[in-house]
Chain A
Amino acid sequence: MDATTVSPLAPSPSPDGAAAPVLRCEHLTKRFGDRVAVDDVGFVVGPGETYGLLGPNGAGKTTTIKMACGLLRRDGGRITVAGREVDHNSVAAKRAIGYVPQDLAVYPDLTARENLRFFGRLYDLRRHELATRVDDTLDLVDLRDRADDRVDSFSGGMKRRLNIAAGLLHRPSLLVLDEPTVGVDPQSRHAILDSVHSLGSSGMAVLYTTHYMEEAERVCDRVGIIDRGHLVAEGTRRELIELVAERDRIELGALGDLDGLCAALRRLPGVDEATTSVGEVHVLAADARHLLPRVLEVAEQQGVEVSSVELVEPDLEAVFLHLTGTALRD
């Protein structure tokens, strides 16, 4: 499937075109007074897919997922989860949603087990099934040995993991994570991202918001880029990069006839452009990783001594910059 710039009039199709989407958002609009926070946003998330909403703070990510979870009334549009329409009273649709808010939404004066038992009961889990799910989920987030400790004695990373566990306990069809790694130490962040990746692999649909480009690239099958309330593009990482015609770059530090080397490289299949500056050669290509051995071979043939090689692949940061004219963290 090709990456697309998103028409505001219709949601994007299901990623594989076959399985019914777990989450379908159409024409979502939300205003706060005169300000339009979300403007005609549409996307779908299929089973087993991890969909990332990538955008800077204030882009409309949290507003979008709050509407998707029935936490915020929408001014326009339609949302279905597992085929059921979502609003704040739609008990059936909400049963299919697991929500992990950005805040540490657990009770600090209860133990980890008490927290999970409480949330599990709200989803009608009872007795043996509840006990089993609680233990399994505590195992999943590696908190079993602290299950009966009060949460206010936990580290920030442990609280984050419990926060995720509370959203997973009832095994939802759709897991919504709102910037779950904010303020987390690198080790916990790594564990959280691994968990998210494995959840997607297990068949759960995951909607993941972040303003960290690296996270979106690491865990998301598809990414929707959102800016100032608009979904400006969506697709896989490669599709998005192709969409904006961003190319890989090979940077060579070199001594010798650099102009001659550039001329030779321009004749090489796969090379889009080759230029030189003082002591350096810059090569643009669609797939630099595959091209690199041939480039070094040509340099040797030209008698150019290569002192350094740098491979620069475009990332979602570059895509975002291209699409919005601003950096992701501006």
Chain B
Amino acid sequence: MRAALLIATKDLRQRARDRSALVLGFVAPLAIAALMSVAFSGTTHFHARLAVVDNDHSPLGSALVGVLRSPDLAAVASVRQLAEADARSAVTSGAQEAALILPAGFSAAATGPGPVPPIEVIANPDHLISGRLAEAVAQGFVAQLNADRLSVQAAVGAGATAPAAELARRASALQLPETVVDRPSGQHELDAISYFAPAMGMFFLFFAIGFGARGFWTERREGTLDRLAVAPVRPSTILAGKALSIVVYGLASMTVMWLVTSLFFGARWGNPVAVALLIVDVVLAVVALAALVITWARTERQVDSLSSVAVFGLTIIGGNFFFISAAPTVMRRLALVTPNGWALRGFIDLATTSGGPRVVVAPLLAILTFTVVVGALAAAQARRLVVG
């Protein structure tokens, strides 16, 4: 054990003198997580700027404005009432993201037997979701109006004696269900930094696969591995020392990410014990992957190729670069083939709930299974690593 610690300490000292290892392990993940947090911040806190134009100047026009300014929509949209020309200009410039234009004569048509002119919705092309929201509100308003008209006609046809206006008031009180809801699925909303902090931490952690494998091959090429093997230590001790250095580097990298993004970027990681368990689990998976690359590669060039495939393949499939929840079903399923995909699922669950380690039992077991399988594949060929 002492010899393994010596070897690990030596490896870490060398890594500490390697600027690229420090950048990839500590600086880059923080910087990229912060950048991606900024880049994706609009996707989790959606808020539309809508304009409404009442060319009808009628109670229905007031009703539409009322719907848009209702408490139900206040969380997702701000509404300004403008003249039509101003609204079109504002949408074109982007000052307003979309506009609903109620045409003149809308009320008269709605209360008469003829066709009702449509409510026009215009949207800035950079704000398509806001345009969709405006369309949904317009469709809901028209649907509610049609339901009211149908109710009154049905009541009159059935011989109701109350005045039509009273019937319309009663019908409009029976509103259609709301369709625009802004509610997180867990107890807490998942913001971008809470997703990308662990995602980027793991992405850069995976570079330790290359560091570990390349370090081993460098020792082999330069003859220092032979010198270690001639020393009074067992080959298994040398491998343990190498693995230990990857574990310490990986834990340090992820822990710094955890602390810095929590303290300075407001990331929510969740229960510390569960987070620590997930981090340790993922770091062990990285050690197993490094061992597999070391044993499979036959040249240093192959080490680089296999490491790159492992890093980028796993992180792209695992969803480290995008919100996995927004990905197609097939991608969401594929992500669960990877340890980082499972880990991300665990981190999301922890960030959006107040759960403890129980919340991440499934991810922990899945990652552990991955580690055991990959580690076994590496161990099958590890015999030849130190002694020829």
A219 interface contact, C-beta 8 A: no
B226 touches A99 (CB 8 A): yes
> Looking at the complex, which one of B14, B17, B221, B386 makes contact with A88 (CB distance below 8 Å)?
B386
- In the complex the two chains form, what is the Cα distance from A110 to B7 in whole Å? 13
Q: Is the interface of A mostly helix, strand, loop or mixed?
A: loop
Instruction: Judge whether A275 is part of the interface by a CB distance below 8 angstroms.
Output: no
Known contacts A73-B388, A104-B223, A110-B14, A123 near B229 by CB under 8 Å: no
**Interface range on chain A: under 10, 10 to 19, 20 to 34, or 35 or more?**
20 to 34
Chain A, residues 101-124, CB within 8 Å of chain B (1/0): the string is 111111101100010001101111
B3 within 8 A of A: yes
B 156-193 binary contact with A (CB < 8 Å = 1; else 0): 00000000000000000000000000000000000000
Q: Is the CB of A105 within 8 A of B223?
A: yes
Q: What is the CA–CA distance of A310 and B291 in the complex, to the nearest angstrom?
A: 64
Q: Are B232 and A70 in contact (CB under 8 A)?
A: no
Q: Are B10 and A107 in contact, with the CB atoms below 8 A?
A: yes
> How many A-B residue pairs lie within 8 Å, measured between CB atoms?
77
The 8 Å CB contact of B230, one of A69, A89, A124, is A69
Question: Which of A90-98, A202-210, A263-271 participates in binding chain B?
Answer: A90-98
B22 smallest CB distance to A (angstroms): 13
**In the complex, B234 has a CB within 8 A of chain A:** yes
Residues of B within 8 Å of A, CB-based: how many? 24
A71 within 8 A of B: yes
- Secondary structure at chain B's binding surface: helix, strand, loop or mixed? helix
Q: For the complex, what is the distance from the CA of A328 to the CA of B334, rounded to whole Å?
A: 62
Distance, CA A280 to CA B386, complexed state (A): 61
B69 contact set on A, CB distance < 8 A: none
Rounded to whole angstroms, the CA-CA distance of A159 and B221 in the bound complex is 16
Is A166 among interface residues, defined by CB-CB distance under 8 A? yes
Chain A 7-21, CB-CB to B under 8 Å as 1, else 0, gives: 000000000000000
Q: Which residue of chain A has its CB nearest to the CB of B6?
A: A121
On whether the beta carbons of A70 and B3 are closer than 8 Å, the reply is no
Given contacts A71-B226, A105-B222, A122-B6, contact A89 B388 (CB under 8 A): no
- A189 interface residue, CB < 8 Å from B? no
B298 within 8 A of partner (CB): no
Q: Which residues of chain B are within 8 angstroms of A105 by Cβ–Cβ distance?
A: 222-224, 226-227
Query: A109 CA to B229 CA in the complex, in Å?
Result: 20
Give complex CA distance A73, B388 in Å: 6
Residues of B close to A71: CB separation below 8 A: 226, 229-230, 387-388
Given contacts A95-B232, A109-B14, contact A101 B387 (CB under 8 A): no
- Which residues of chain A are within 8 angstroms of B235 by Cβ–Cβ distance? 88-89
Q: Which of B374-388 contact A (CB under 8 A)?
A: 386-388
**A residues within 8 A CB of B221?**
103
B223 touches A101 (CB 8 A): yes
Cβ of B228 < 8 Å from any Cβ of A?
Answer: yes
A114, B329: Cα distance in complex, Å: 54
Q: Which residues of A contact B388 (CB under 8 A)?
A: 66, 71-73
A317 CB to closest chain B CB (Å) equals: 29
What is the chain A residue whose CB lies nearest that of B233?
A122
Q: Could you write out 10 A-B pairs with CB less than 8 Å apart? A: A70-B229, A71-B229, A88-B235, A103-B221, A103-B222, A110-B10, A110-B13, A110-B14, A166-B227, A167-B227
New A-B pairs, 18, CB < 8 Å, besides A97-B230, A105-B227, A123-B231: A70-B229, A71-B226, A71-B388, A72-B388, A73-B388, A88-B234, A89-B235, A99-B227, A101-B227, A103-B222, A103-B223, A107-B10, A107-B14, A119-B231, A122-B232, A123-B232, A124-B232, A167-B227
